[in-house]
Every structure is written in C-alpha cells, then in structure tokens.
Chains A and B, each alone.
Chain A
Amino acid sequence: MTALPRLTARVSTALALCLAFLFAFGASQAQTVTAQPPATFTLPNGLAVVIIPDHRTPVVTQMIWYKVGSADETPGKSGLAHFLEHLMFKGTAKHPAGEFSQTVLRVGGEENAFTYFDYTGYYQRVPRDQLATMMAFEADRMTGLVLKDENVLPERDVVLEEYNMRVANNPDARLTEQIMAALYLNHPYGRPVIGWRHEIEKLTRKDALAFYKRFYAPNNATLVIAGDVDAQKIRPEIEKTFGQVPPQPAIPPVRIRPQEPLPVASRTVTLADPRVEQPMLRRYYLVPAATTAATGESPALDVLARLMGEGSNAYLYRALVVDKPLAVNTNASYQGTMVDPTQFTIAVAPKPGVSFAAVEQAIDGVIAHLAANPVPAEDLERVKTQLIAQAVYAQDSQTTLARWYGAGMTVGLSVDEIRTWPDRIRAVTAAQVREAAQRWLVKTRSVTGYLIKDTTPAHEEKRS
C-alpha cells in the first residue's frame, strides 16, 4: 500500500506513471474472466492487432505500441526514444503540426504518449465514430513524420524541463537513477528512460529521424483497439490504413541486448541532498522477467512482492512499522513485464534516529524467514485473492486492459499468456514462494541505495 515512486523518474509521461504502478502487480496482467478472449490477428506487413470489446460506452481507445524503448538506444544517445516520442506530435507531410491533436480535441477526445525501457506508445480516446479517422492519422504518422529545427529545438528544451521536473527537482528520483546504473553492469536498463542530461542536451533532429526510420514500422508494432467496436467490422479499416504501410525487413524480430553477468558483489550507493527531510532506503535485486523466468517463477515473484510489501498486513510493514518502531513506511514490488531481467524492489522510510543498519537487519530478517519457512496457507490465499481480483477490477477500464495487453505483447508475451495470468497466480505454491526468496533475494544480486540529507555547508556553485 505504500506505493513508492519506483522508476517514476524514468517514466516519461503520466500514463507511464500509471503503468509503473499497474505493473507492480507483475507480469502480464491478465484476466480470464472476460466472456471472450480478445480478437487478434497479424496483417501481412507484420502489424499485430488486438481488439478488446467493451460496449458500455460509445467510446474507443486506440493504442499503438512500438517495440522500441530506451534500452534500444545507441550508447551515447540516451533519451532518444523519449525525445522522438515528443517529436511525433510535430506533424507529417500530409498533416501539418497540430492537425492530429486538434482533430482529437474537436471531437472531445484525449491523447497522449509514453516511453519506457522496452516500448513507446501513443493513444487516443475518442467517440467510436472517430476511430477510422484516428487510424488514418496514426498510420500516416508511422512513416510520414516531418521534423524541422524550428520545432525540434524548443521541444528539446521542453524535454529538459521534463527532466528537471521529474529528476533534478526530486532527490529520490536521482537516487533511483544511481541504483539502476549500479544494478545493471552491462545491460542498457542501467540508463534512465528520460536519458542522461548531458546526452539529452545534444540530441538532434538527425538523431531523431534516424531512430524513427530504424524502428517505426508495422512489423515492429502492436495495435490495440479497446472499446465499443466489432472486431469483424473494423478489420477492413485497419487494412486500409495501417495495412498500407510497408514493413521494414531489417528490424530483427527479437531484441538481443547485452546481458548481465552473474552478479557477484552486493553494492551500495548514497545520494546526499540538502533538501532530504525524510531519509529513504531502497534495495533493488536483479530478478527474472516474465519472459525470461522459468515456469512458475514470475508469478511466484508477484506473490512474494505482494506478501512482503503491499498493505498493512505485508511482512515488511508488520516487522518494521508495527512490531518494531523502525520505519514510517515500507513497500516491495516486482515488475515482470519486461524483455530482459528486471528488478524486485524494496523501499523503506526509516523513522527519525533509526540507522540504516537497523533497518537492513530487519529487512534481512524478513527475507531469511521467508527463505526458510513455507508461507502460511492463509497468507498465501489472501495475497492470491487480491492479485486475481486485480484482473476483475481491470475489466472496468478499457484503457487498463489495453495497457495490459499492449505492454505484455510488446515484451513478448502471447495473448493467451496475458489472459491466463490469474490461473498462474492461483497455481503458485508455498514452496515456490520460498524458492523465489531463496534464489533471487540474495544480497550479491542487489544494490542498496541510501537517500540522506547533505549537511555540508552550502558552497558557491557556478550555475550557467
């Protein structure tokens, strides 16, 4: 319950903020509870399509997910995926800047975009009779982008202000950047999604266009349509718009990135800032993603995270906040919807005067207990019930469902795997949870970050 702003600094838009929290529940959020599975098909040019009907309101959500995120950037060009996301609103040869956005507005619609490690997405929510128009615009934007320095350069300043807002102004976000950089010795997840400031400052129009041409193509995207539509009826419209965009055969079907060596040393990082009024301890473990885990392992990590860190009956909260007066708040989470090995995170806000050593001893005690003993049946049942209920609650929102399917498919899960996630949660055993704790919550796999108040006297800084 003490949701911590995990990775929020990396996340580029408000929607992605929401995503980060949704995915706290773990891999491939899904539900088998809907009457029918979503319709899926792949166009000849490689575009994967998912259609999720929801007929309560005459509204439809179009979301296109590109299989490209910050982890696909060339070293030295960090922030490029996100910068391009911003530039995608600058118009095409066919539709000058602003026309798409104004069309969305004129019909009362809503639009935005988001960038993350493994994907970049764009969406519009509009009255259903506008869907064909939205498809035409979005398909046009897949290859028709026109960029000029006069709108690229001010937009780079906008991105730098976004960086200031999310990261520079927020010491906790800066700590998280340092933890991630230390956790990933070799994999590009160590770079912030928004980019390193000194590299964002140097991104150019040419960089953005080259990146766009390299990655934006139907065979590198998933189109999710959720809402008041009939899958049969809209297929011709999809073919007429997206179906006309040529594929890019040069894009490899699977993303292969430098992988992490076996972690051998526990690491610590400390970030000191004069504005820190509440110290924080964050520990990140390198753990498998839903796509890289052995069978049953990822759902076990979902259960383990919730057991340890969600709500006031969570083990960390009971041990550190209720039973002993060590902390103000605690959290644990696992984010399984990733292409490559991901993070299991723990965060604790210590009480004034309590040392990090005392907090860590208590955390280690909780983990040791979980690794040595099977979880009591009633605790396991409670947590599984809550996780499975998320699938029902998700059905209430067409955009939430669109995000589950979009993110899951973009990292390589199948529609069926996404749909049957509750079944896999249901199947998690106490032994699997214990094994997950034993195997993955090992100190040498982790980085511990300390956020502390910088009490050194203020020095004269040169600021340009």
Chain B
Amino acid sequence: MRRTRIGAARRLLAAICFAVTSLMTVPAFATTKIQHLVTPGGIEAWFVQDATVPLVAMEYAFAGGAAQDPADKPGVGYMVASLLDEGAADLDSKTFRERLDRHAIELSFSIERDRFRGSLRMLKEHSGEAFDLLHLALTSPRFDADDVERIRSQIISELRRNSTNPNALAGRNFLKLAFDDHPYGRPSHGTLESIPPITTDDLRIYVRHVLARDGLKIAVVGDIEPAALAKLLDQTFGGLPAKGDLTPVADVVATKPPQRTFVPLDVPQTVVMFGGPGVKRHDPDFMAAYIDNHILGGGSLSSRLYREVREKRGLAYSVSQSLLWMDHSALFAGTTGTRADRAGESIDAINNVIQRFAEDGPTQKELDEAKSYLKGSQMLELDTSSKLATGLLQYQTDNLPIDYIEKRNSIVEAVTLDQAKAVAKRLWGHGLLTVVVGRAQAATQPAAAQPGATARPGAAQPAPHPAAH
C-alpha cells in the first residue's frame, strides 16, 4: 500500500474500486488448462500451470471488503490492508520486509467494496518463503504501535492530499450521491475524522471477521506443480478460521436520477462524474448492457462519447464510461475533465449523447462491431500470468462457472438489436447523477444544481480516467 501513497497521479488510471474490470476473457493457452484444484485440506483454487516464465502469481480475495468497516469508522479495512505486510509473528516490520526484499517477493493487499484482496508474486525458487511469509501475515499480524502510527500518518497524508484533488473529490461525492448512507456510499479509504480514532482492536476485529476460509477465492498461474501448490495453499490458508463473521450488507438501488452535486474547487479543469443505476452481474440484461456501454462510452478511441465530446468538439482529453457491479448493487459511471469555461457545454454534450442513445439504442452496425471487438479481445486481456490470475479470480468472485470462457462468445453473440435497444432505454433513459468539481461558474450550475455539497476533506476513490492517445 505504501508504494502508492504519494503517487496520486498514477491512480488516475485506477478504477473506482468496484469490479470495473472488463469482462474477463482468457487467452487460448489457458482455456484448456484451467484446473479446479481442491487441496487435501479442502482449499479450492483455479490454477493454470505454465512454465514459460519461472515465476508464480497468485491473486486471492476474502468476502468482506470496505463494506465491512464499522459504520462510524470507514477505513478500517484499508488500514488493515496497509498493515498486513508490516510484520507478523516473531518478525518485526523491518525483518519481515527484509525477507521479502531479499527474495524479490511481491506481496500486497488492497481493499474493494465487497472484498479484501491479496496479491503474491515470486520467482519460482522462492515459493516456499513467499507462501510462508503470507501465511504469517494472514494469521499472526503484529500491528505494532510504531507501525500502526506510521501507516496512519501515511493514510492521513493521502486523505489530506485528496481533499483538494478534483478526481478524488468527484469520486467520493459521486458514491455519496449514489448510495448516501449505505456502506457503498462510505469512503473506503476512510476520512480525516474516521482514521485517527481507529484502534488496534478495530484492526484485529476486522481481521477476525473477514480473513476466513468460507469467503476465500484463489487463482494461481505459473511454474509450479499442482501437488506442491496444494501443499503450500494448505499451509498458507488452512490455519484460518473456517467461517468469517460478516455483517450483512443490504441490497441497494442507486439514487434515482437526475440529481446533481456541485463541489467548488478552484482548478483550471472541471472534473465531471456522471452515472446512474446499472445492472448486476447475473441480471439477464447484463451482456446487452455491457455491449451497449462499450458502444456508448467504453474505453476505446471511437465510442460515441469519445467522438462527440473529444474528437468533434475538443472539449476533453478523456471521456469514458464503465459498468460497475457489486454484490448488492450496480452502477454505470463515467468521467471527464473539461476546461472550466466550457464545462456547461461538455455536460450538455454528454447528456445529449446519452439521451439519444437511450432513445434510439445502437445501430445494427455498432452492435456488430462491438460484438466483433468483444470476441476478439478475449485473447488480449489476460496475456500475462498476473493478468490471467486476476481474471480467474474475477470469474470466481462473479460466481461464474469454470467453463465460462468457452461459453462467453456465444453469450455475446446471442444479444439481439431489440434487446440492446431495450437495455439502452432501461439504463440510460432516466437522466444522470452528476457530480461537478470545479470553479463556480454559471455554466456549471444550471437551475437543477444542488449547491449544498461542500468540499469537505475526506477520502474518495479516484475517478476512472482511462488512457487515450
């Protein structure tokens, strides 16, 4: 976690912390080789054995995540994620980090809304050491006072920086607008008020509730024998409690649009986040919505939003939209940055493009091309061990079958134009939830604006800012 704390700029590229990963598709080399490994100790993992590169990559997740933070203490899970690599059992922080460094082991933790994530990568000859250190981190974290205070000060520093970062403010306010007091509306990195009073007990309680075998999903890719891996998985995860103790999270539908929040901040470029209720992963309309989103605002250089807002009008460098699906809700959400004196024009342009799409839906040609893209991109999305492991984990947390990869293209193919049009109306036909962060100018504050929201310092997930040329 520490490694990103100063690097705010890079996180512009990070998504909003839900599962915004695109539909996971697996390269051909993996399709015939995904093993469903069940260890003697009963730990399950999806595994691809590949010896091309002498390394092993593992991605895993515990059900839980930021939604399990106590209501008055957002940021507990994030703080745990930031501290689990700061020493365990009889190894203090310095010794623990030295053992990682000496073997070039990459071990990290992160937090999503619904999941506590971990990632482990090592050269194959150091797999024993790597899994051993992970086992200690998960089962006997130290939370020494010095380390807790050091990490706390880093998180506070990050939150203070984000308190004047337009992207962070837009993301935080967007979630607040969409989910209000629901756990999804709380800042997953905490706030300047919530982080200081968090105690070591809070951290330990979180660990006890979330780090358990029943909510655990694992994906491994790399140069290791299945039997050896099974043994390491048992040693690493077998000692965790069989059952976690999660607070139930209520299903929630995002706030009904249109709604607008204005956050004043004196910056040359106004940041706009827009969105609305989406579709959940197992909704029958999911794939049609996914294809529609690709046409309307997906990360490509020729979506409708990209063409209208960037190419034709030169209003923004990046404009894009994603589907975000969670265990208990779903959103579509987009973002752009545009010069202050043309912010109103940009917002109008976005609204018009989306409204037209809702009314008419995609054309047959757009639908065909989007399908062609999604089918072809299957091989490209997961061409490294780490990306493949991340993808295999996503399939599991999405509750998809292990043979989904083979079925996926036919699911894409089956979406009809009528269906795509109906879903366009369903999702994009109700106006937008909009958050505008920037200078107070008449153009950005139409009559519908709610000037109530203030730029209260606090954490937020940075808004997605996809790459463009």
A residues at B contact (CB < 8 Å): 1-5, 8-9, 13-15, 17, 21, 33, 54-59, 85-86, 89, 98, 101-102, 105-113, 125-127, 151, 153-162, 164-166, 168-170, 172-173, 274-278, 311-313, 321-322, 328-329, 331, 347, 349, 351, 381-383, 385-386, 388-390, 392-393, 395-398, 458, 463-464
> Which of B338, B341, B369 is in CB contact (< 8 Å) with A106?
B369
Say yes or no: is B154 at the interface (Cβ < 8 Å to chain A): yes
A312 to B92, CA, bound (A): 12
A5 pairs with B3, CB closer than 8 A: no
Question: Which residues of the partner chain A approach B94 to less than 8 Å between Cβ atoms?
Answer: 312-313, 322
Say yes or no: is B121 at the interface (Cβ < 8 Å to chain A): yes
Question: Which residues of the partner chain A approach B313 to less than 8 Å between Cβ atoms?
Answer: 154, 157
B432 to chain A, nearest CB (A): 21
Say yes or no: is B407 at the interface (Cβ < 8 Å to chain A): no
Given contacts A1-B2, A169-B267, contact A110 B377 (CB under 8 A): yes
Question: Which residues of the partner chain B approach A463 to less than 8 Å between Cβ atoms?
Answer: 340-341
Question: Can you name 30 A-B residue pairings with CB atoms under 8 Å?
Answer: A1-B3, A2-B5, A2-B6, A5-B7, A14-B13, A17-B9, A17-B13, A56-B29, A59-B379, A59-B383, A107-B372, A108-B375, A112-B468, A113-B469, A161-B337, A168-B267, A169-B166, A170-B9, A277-B160, A277-B164, A312-B86, A312-B93, A312-B94, A313-B97, A328-B5, A328-B157, A329-B157, A386-B101, A396-B57, A397-B384
> Which of B6, B28, B301, B468 is in CB contact (< 8 Å) with A331?
B6
Question: Which residues of the partner chain A approach B196 to less than 8 Å between Cβ atoms?
Answer: none
Question: Which residues of the partner chain A approach B102 to less than 8 Å between Cβ atoms?
Answer: 381-382, 385
Say yes or no: is B138 at the interface (Cβ < 8 Å to chain A): no
A102 pairs with B315, CB closer than 8 A: no
B residues at A contact (CB < 8 Å): 2-10, 12-13, 27-29, 50, 52-55, 57, 86, 93-94, 97-98, 101-104, 106, 121, 123, 146, 150, 153-154, 157, 160-161, 163-164, 166, 265-269, 271, 300-302, 310-318, 337-341, 369, 372-380, 383-386, 457, 465-469
Which of A13, A98, A386 counts the most B-chain CB atoms under 10 A from its CB?
A: A386
Query: Closest residue to A458 on the B side, CB-wise?
Result: B266
A382 to B100, CA, bound (A): 10
Query: Closest residue to A398 on the B side, CB-wise?
Result: B383
Question: Which residues of the partner chain B approach A56 to less than 8 Å between Cβ atoms?
Answer: 27, 29, 50, 52, 383
> Which of A8, A57, A101 is in CB contact (< 8 Å) with B10?
A8
A161 pairs with B317, CB closer than 8 A: yes
The 4 A-B residue pairs with the shortest CB-CB distance, nearest first, are A108-B376, A157-B314, A14-B467, A389-B104
B445 to chain A, nearest CB (A): 16
> Which of B10, B315, B376, B386 is in CB contact (< 8 Å) with A17?
B10
B154 pairs with A329, CB closer than 8 A: yes
B341 to chain A, nearest CB (A): 7
Which of A1, A113, A383 counts the most B-chain CB atoms under 10 A from its CB?
A: A1
> Which of A4, A15, A33, A383 is in CB contact (< 8 Å) with B6?
A4
Given contacts A3-B10, A386-B104, contact A98 B314 (CB under 8 A): no
A155 pairs with B98, CB closer than 8 A: no
A111 to B13, CA, bound (A): 16
A107 pairs with B376, CB closer than 8 A: yes
A153 pairs with B314, CB closer than 8 A: yes
A109 pairs with B2, CB closer than 8 A: no
Question: Which residues of the partner chain B approach A110 to less than 8 Å between Cβ atoms?
Answer: 377, 380
A85 to B317, CA, bound (A): 14
Query: Closest residue to A115 on the B side, CB-wise?
Result: B469
A106 to B367, CA, bound (A): 11
> Which of A5, A13, A274, A386 is in CB contact (< 8 Å) with B9?
A5
Question: Which residues of the partner chain B approach A59 to less than 8 Å between Cβ atoms?
Answer: 27, 379-380, 383
Question: Which residues of the partner chain A approach B385 to less than 8 Å between Cβ atoms?
Answer: 396
Given contacts A59-B383, A155-B314, A274-B266, contact A89 B469 (CB under 8 A): yes
Question: Which residues of the partner chain B approach A169 to less than 8 Å between Cβ atoms?
Answer: 166, 267-269, 271, 337
Question: Which residues of the partner chain A approach B269 to less than 8 Å between Cβ atoms?
Answer: 161, 164-165, 168-169
B384 pairs with A2, CB closer than 8 A: no
A21 pairs with B10, CB closer than 8 A: yes
A431 to chain B, nearest CB (A): 22
A101 pairs with B101, CB closer than 8 A: no
Question: Which residues of the partner chain A approach B93 to less than 8 Å between Cβ atoms?
Answer: 312
A46 to B13, CA, bound (A): 37
A109 to B378, CA, bound (A): 9
Question: Which residues of the partner chain A approach B376 to less than 8 Å between Cβ atoms?
Answer: 106-109, 127
Question: Which residues of the partner chain B approach A101 to less than 8 Å between Cβ atoms?
Answer: 300-302
Question: Which residues of the partner chain B approach A106 to less than 8 Å between Cβ atoms?
Answer: 369, 372-373, 376
Question: Which residues of the partner chain B approach A389 to less than 8 Å between Cβ atoms?
Answer: 104, 123
Question: Which residues of the partner chain B approach A458 to less than 8 Å between Cβ atoms?
Answer: 266
Query: Closest residue to A166 on the B side, CB-wise?
Result: B9
A212 to chain B, nearest CB (A): 16
A305 to chain B, nearest CB (A): 15
B179 to chain A, nearest CB (A): 26
A57 pairs with B379, CB closer than 8 A: yes
B339 pairs with A5, CB closer than 8 A: no
Question: Which residues of the partner chain A approach B339 to less than 8 Å between Cβ atoms?
Answer: 160-161, 164
B53 pairs with A161, CB closer than 8 A: no
Which of B104, B121, B150, B265 counts the most A-chain CB atoms under 10 A from its CB?
A: B104
A274 to B265, CA, bound (A): 10
Query: Closest residue to A122 on the B side, CB-wise?
Result: B469
> Which of A17, A33, A321 is in CB contact (< 8 Å) with B150?
A321
A127 pairs with B379, CB closer than 8 A: yes
> Which of A156, A329, A392 is in CB contact (< 8 Å) with B55?
A392
A331 to B7, CA, bound (A): 10
> Which of B6, B163, B373, B383 is in CB contact (< 8 Å) with A349?
B6
A392 to B300, CA, bound (A): 31
A371 to chain B, nearest CB (A): 23
B377 pairs with A108, CB closer than 8 A: yes
Query: Closest residue to B7 on the A side, CB-wise?
Result: A3
A75 to B27, CA, bound (A): 47
B314 pairs with A3, CB closer than 8 A: no
A312 to B3, CA, bound (A): 9
A239 to B374, CA, bound (A): 32
Question: Which residues of the partner chain A approach B310 to less than 8 Å between Cβ atoms?
Answer: 158
Question: Which residues of the partner chain A approach B154 to less than 8 Å between Cβ atoms?
Answer: 328-329
B383 pairs with A154, CB closer than 8 A: no
B314 pairs with A154, CB closer than 8 A: yes
> Which of B98, B312, B340 is in CB contact (< 8 Å) with A313?
B98
Q: A161-B317, A464-B341 are in contact. List 19 more A-B contacts (CB 8 A).
A: A1-B2, A2-B6, A14-B13, A14-B466, A14-B467, A17-B9, A21-B10, A55-B52, A57-B28, A105-B300, A105-B301, A106-B372, A109-B377, A151-B311, A161-B337, A312-B93, A313-B101, A329-B2, A397-B384
